[in-house]
A and B are shown apart, each in its own frame.
Chain A
Amino acid sequence: MTGSKDFRIGQIYITALNEKMPDAVLDTSWQTDNQVTVTVKLNSLPDAVATLYYEHDGWLSTMVGNDERPLNGNYGLYYVLSMEGAEKCHVIVHAEIPEDSPEFPSVTPKVPAAVWYEREVRDMLGLQPIGLPDERRLVLPDDWPEGLYPLRKDTMDYRFRPQPTTDNETYKFVNDSKVETTVVPLGPLHITSDEPGHFRLFVDGEDIIDADYRMFYVHRGMEKLAETRMGYNEVTFLADRVCGICGYAHSVAYASSVENALGIQVPARGQAIRAILLETERLHSHLLNLGLVCHFTGFDSGFMQFFRVREKTMTLAELLTGARKTYAMNLIGGVRRDILAEQRLTTLKLIGELRGEVKRLVDMLLSTPNFGGRVNGIGRLDPKIARDYSPVGPVVRGSGHRRDTRADHPFAGYKLVDMPVHTQTGCDVLSRTLIRVEEFFDSIAIIEKLLSDTPTGPILTEDFAYVPHKFALGYTEAPRGEDMHWSMTGDNQKLYRWRCRASTYNNWPVLRYMLRGNTISDAPLIVGSIDPCYSCTDRVTIVDVKKARAKTVSYKEMERYCRERSDSPLK
């Protein structure tokens, strides 16, 4: 779908690019009324992205590398910018890289937000970003063979497993501190994150001078799987399994990317049901995080209380979808279950109870004297750094930026509701927590509004045809922020390329700045405040560089220290 000329949004950005860089723009095409792909010359790529980013209120949403050699002989790069200025839309800056010289000028020196994306595209497609300062791997394991790029179409079968070459991790961690520091490694089996991850804290005494981390321990190769073993209509269920906490948001993002690409109009009732379920998911996820904030600040009875109340949201999910988690509710073109009077009434009753109980708990939490002391001014994310790195969700809203995909680019049923966007200017753990509290009550109001006013008609359309090589974006606001999916159909009822970017991906790079200047005992709290979740616990090795000795303490000890703040494990 190219969109009729009258409704095309985003033309002002194309005009601006043409004025600033004559001859740079080669082509423009609209995927939907508010998604435009601009093809620029490869050498103009950094300038084009930087212009849109800094001069026109653009934020980097994702970057997609695509092996398009079988289609047109080139690799494709797509920098997706969420334009949140005068005209709200998505502008996708596209450049082609010739097959014989797989390299491109790095955007990172101009727009730091691109750093993880460019490291990833080097890992997965072997496209070299020239000028990217960080030479390390991001996604692939340390012992993955050099020169084997999983997402190239001609390199390997999706089942190919190279033999392991080493039993030890060889990743190099970066320490920018000027003074001598002690190293505190955490993980990979450990603490506050969704996935196993390995953290290195560089400390001087109790103070964190710098931090670095190695993620992607759970890289499984989903994007390759979606292109090979699965049909495009089955990937909604794979997308459900991207994340066990906000999987439904991924599923909606994926389904809408294909719907946008193929021009499918999802019936209004299906859209409303998607929004209701997304908010149900937000309810459970925000209660989870509120519980964990209690836990990390040593208020364990609050943690247990929040988890007790959270069970109501799980009951709600089970009532509406048949499953407590991993809803499997989406099809391309709509949803798989309706909400009848029976479910509607029970839902209204349950969220009424939730509103009262959570209000009481939040009042208790905020009036607990030592809570304020533990979260006020801790884990500060400077608004300028937030601007440079494009974080999403409560993390960016807690630093004063008004970004919420539900309001900026309404999708699914959010066109039917007035979406409030809350921001806080404290930039600390407290701000992020308060935003989650406000959003929790918003979610209840949205569910009530959509249930009282649900559009009638079907929930599913099957009136569409699969068209080869169409691509578009799909997006949602997950509890942790914007999820961005880019899908391109193939010619065999499968996907040619699926790029799935989870919200936390954009939040990790700023964590380093949030940790700096705080004490070790606040580290779990700060990591928890970006809301990856606490999945496993393990050891913490503390290496004292000055004394040249190593000491291992359990993560529990670290966490205990975070809660009690006495008897430092470093002594």
Chain B
Amino acid sequence: MSNEVAALKGRLLKSIGRSIYVYRVDCGGCNGCEIEIFAAITPIFDVERFGIKVVPSPRHADILLYTGAVTRAMRMPAIRSYEAAPDPKIVVSYGACGCTGGIFHDLYCVWGGTDKIVPVDVYIPGCPPTPQATIYGFAMALGLLEQKLKETTHVEGEDESVPLIHPGVPYGLRVALERRARRMAGYLQGRACAEAFMGALEAPEPAQVDMRITQLIAKEEDPRRAEIFTQLKLVFTGMLA
């Protein structure tokens, strides 16, 4: 890119004085990204209220929005649409596949991410990016917002160590409880159930542990969670025996 174009590009957004025209180039996406772009331009999210408008030809575009890993067959059409757009133009690479090639990055019929064929200014990651992420990405491309992501590195201190969770619950029991909870209700909800159950196990006065578990089940309003707690109780009593 020549310096002249770069300077023009810098000024483009400040001096444009009208809506921003976006042209979408699908160069091999699965359509998940396209569908979220659709969601972003229709009521509820409605990016048109920020003056962002999708146009049907690259010749009208200020921003080119590339989605999908660039496939072998779409390489030339994608380059042609880049060349058809007037300078200065901003290129946004959208979605995991657009940014890097995603899960398809090294395949025989794929050229990689958008930046393998055209220079990219803004990356909007996600699989697919949510409409909120889309709007944020555009706000960044338009210079309305600063990038929020900042790199930080944590260095472990001298006395710093990662504490064990539930030190009061024997390791074997904890693994058995967590495994049963995961099979019953999956990673997220199962984990929450196992945590609640282990909280009841760990409370002071070990003699009353049976009573606390019975109470935990009796108090639970959600019958499904009560079922999961009952299963965890079976694991617990099984380990004791």
Chains A and B come from one and the same complex: yes
Contacts A224-B108, A225-B104, A458-B184; A556 near B57 (Cβ below 8 A)? yes
A-B contact pairs, 7 of them (CB 8 A): A158-B106, A159-B107, A220-B69, A337-B185, A340-B222, A341-B224, A538-B56
A324 to B37 Cα, complex, angstroms: 13
Please determine whether B182 and A460 come into contact, CB atoms closer than 8 angstroms: yes
Which chain B residues border A436 with CB–CB below 8 Å? none
Does A322 make an interface contact (CB < 8 A)? yes
Please determine whether B107 and A144 come into contact, CB atoms closer than 8 angstroms: no
Does B137 make an interface contact (CB < 8 A)? no
Contacts A218-B28, A243-B31, A555-B56; A338 near B71 (Cβ below 8 A)? no
Contact of B186 among A150, A229, A247, A336 (CB under 8 A): A336
Does B6 make an interface contact (CB < 8 A)? no
Does B239 make an interface contact (CB < 8 A)? no
A241, closest chain B residue (CB): B30
Please determine whether A221 and B189 come into contact, CB atoms closer than 8 angstroms: no
Question: In angstroms, how far is the closest chain A Cβ from the Cβ of B240?
Answer: 22
Which chain B residues border A160 with CB–CB below 8 Å? 108
A interface footprint on B128-160 (CB within 8 Å = 1, 0 otherwise) = 101000000000000000000000000000000
Q: Which 5 A-B pairs give the minimum distances between C-beta atoms?
A: A244-B32, A556-B56, A307-B42, A338-B185, A341-B222
A314 to B56 Cα, complex, angstroms: 26
Question: In angstroms, how far is the closest chain A Cβ from the Cβ of B44?
Answer: 5
Contact of B71 among A219, A307, A460 (CB under 8 A): A219
Which chain A residues border B69 with CB–CB below 8 Å? 220
Does A280 make an interface contact (CB < 8 A)? no
Question: In angstroms, how far is the closest chain A Cβ from the Cβ of B47?
Answer: 13
Please determine whether B128 and A304 come into contact, CB atoms closer than 8 angstroms: no
Please determine whether B39 and A307 come into contact, CB atoms closer than 8 angstroms: yes
Does B50 make an interface contact (CB < 8 A)? no
A216, closest chain B residue (CB): B73
Contact of B75 among A164, A229, A243 (CB under 8 A): A164
Please determine whether B188 and A241 come into contact, CB atoms closer than 8 angstroms: no
Within 8 A of A (CB), among B41-96: 42-45, 56-57, 68-69, 71-78, 81
Does A238 make an interface contact (CB < 8 A)? yes
Contact-size category for B? 35 or more
Please determine whether B104 and A247 come into contact, CB atoms closer than 8 angstroms: no
Contact of A460 among B81, B186, B189 (CB under 8 A): B186
Does B200 make an interface contact (CB < 8 A)? no
Contacts A218-B68, A539-B57; A340 near B42 (Cβ below 8 A)? no
Which chain B residues border A243 with CB–CB below 8 Å? 30-32
Binds B, one of A22-30, A114-122, A377-385, A529-537: A529-537
Does A326 make an interface contact (CB < 8 A)? yes
Question: In angstroms, how far is the closest chain A Cβ from the Cβ of B189?
Answer: 5
Please determine whether B34 and A533 come into contact, CB atoms closer than 8 angstroms: yes
Does B196 make an interface contact (CB < 8 A)? no
Which chain B residues border A150 with CB–CB below 8 Å? 108-109
A460 to B187 Cα, complex, angstroms: 11
Q: How many A-B residue pairs have CB under 8 A?
A: 209
Which chain A residues border B233 with CB–CB below 8 Å? none
B189, closest chain A residue (CB): A338
A556 to B81 Cα, complex, angstroms: 16
Question: In angstroms, how far is the closest chain A Cβ from the Cβ of B198?
Answer: 18
Contact of A220 among B25, B42, B107 (CB under 8 A): B107
Please determine whether B221 and A341 come into contact, CB atoms closer than 8 angstroms: yes
Please determine whether B38 and A220 come into contact, CB atoms closer than 8 angstroms: no
Please determine whether B222 and A221 come into contact, CB atoms closer than 8 angstroms: no
Which chain B residues border A159 with CB–CB below 8 Å? 106-108
Which chain B residues border A288 with CB–CB below 8 Å? 35, 38
Does B110 make an interface contact (CB < 8 A)? yes
Question: In angstroms, how far is the closest chain B Cβ from the Cβ of A205?
Answer: 25
Does A208 make an interface contact (CB < 8 A)? no
Within 8 A of B (CB), among A37-64: none
A194, closest chain B residue (CB): B31
Contact of B30 among A158, A221, A244, A342 (CB under 8 A): A244
Contacts A217-B73, A244-B128, A314-B39; A322 near B188 (Cβ below 8 A)? yes
Which chain B residues border A143 with CB–CB below 8 Å? 72
Most chain A CB within 10 A, of B35, B43, B57, B75, is at B35
Please determine whether B30 and A247 come into contact, CB atoms closer than 8 angstroms: yes
B interface residue numbers (CB < 8 A to A): 24-36, 38-39, 42-45, 56-57, 68-69, 71-78, 81, 102-104, 106-111, 127-128, 130, 182-190, 221-225, 227
Question: In angstroms, how far is the closest chain A Cβ from the Cβ of B24?
Answer: 5
Please determine whether B71 and A220 come into contact, CB atoms closer than 8 angstroms: yes
Please determine whether B42 and A304 come into contact, CB atoms closer than 8 angstroms: yes
Please determine whether A218 and B57 come into contact, CB atoms closer than 8 angstroms: no
A341, closest chain B residue (CB): B222
A10 to B73 Cα, complex, angstroms: 42
Most chain B CB within 10 A, of A218, A460, A535, A538, is at A218
Please determine whether B30 and A461 come into contact, CB atoms closer than 8 angstroms: no
Which chain A residues border B39 with CB–CB below 8 Å? 307, 310-311, 314, 324
Within 8 A of B (CB), among A322-372: 322, 324-326, 334-342
Please determine whether B107 and A324 come into contact, CB atoms closer than 8 angstroms: no
B interface footprint on A81-95 (CB within 8 Å = 1, 0 otherwise) = 000000000000000
Question: In angstroms, how far is the closest chain B Cβ from the Cβ of A231?
Answer: 13
Does A161 make an interface contact (CB < 8 A)? yes
B79, closest chain A residue (CB): A167
Please determine whether A224 and B107 come into contact, CB atoms closer than 8 angstroms: yes
A307 to B37 Cα, complex, angstroms: 12
Contacts A141-B73, A326-B128; A342 near B57 (Cβ below 8 A)? no
Please determine whether A189 and B68 come into contact, CB atoms closer than 8 angstroms: no
Which chain B residues border A407 with CB–CB below 8 Å? none
A210 to B169 Cα, complex, angstroms: 73
A325 to B96 Cα, complex, angstroms: 13
Please determine whether A536 and B57 come into contact, CB atoms closer than 8 angstroms: no
Does A195 make an interface contact (CB < 8 A)? yes
Which chain B residues border A217 with CB–CB below 8 Å? 28, 71, 73-74, 77
Question: In angstroms, how far is the closest chain A Cβ from the Cβ of B161?
Answer: 31
B131, closest chain A residue (CB): A324
Please determine whether A241 and B26 come into contact, CB atoms closer than 8 angstroms: no
Question: In angstroms, how far is the closest chain B Cβ from the Cβ of A301?
Answer: 10
A54 to B130 Cα, complex, angstroms: 47
B interface footprint on A2-21 (CB within 8 Å = 1, 0 otherwise) = 00000000000000000000
Question: In angstroms, how far is the closest chain A Cβ from the Cβ of B81?
Answer: 6
A111 to B184 Cα, complex, angstroms: 47
Within 8 A of B (CB), among A227-243: 229, 237-238, 241-243
A336, closest chain B residue (CB): B186
Which chain B residues border A336 with CB–CB below 8 Å? 186-188
Contact of B32 among A220, A326, A554 (CB under 8 A): A326
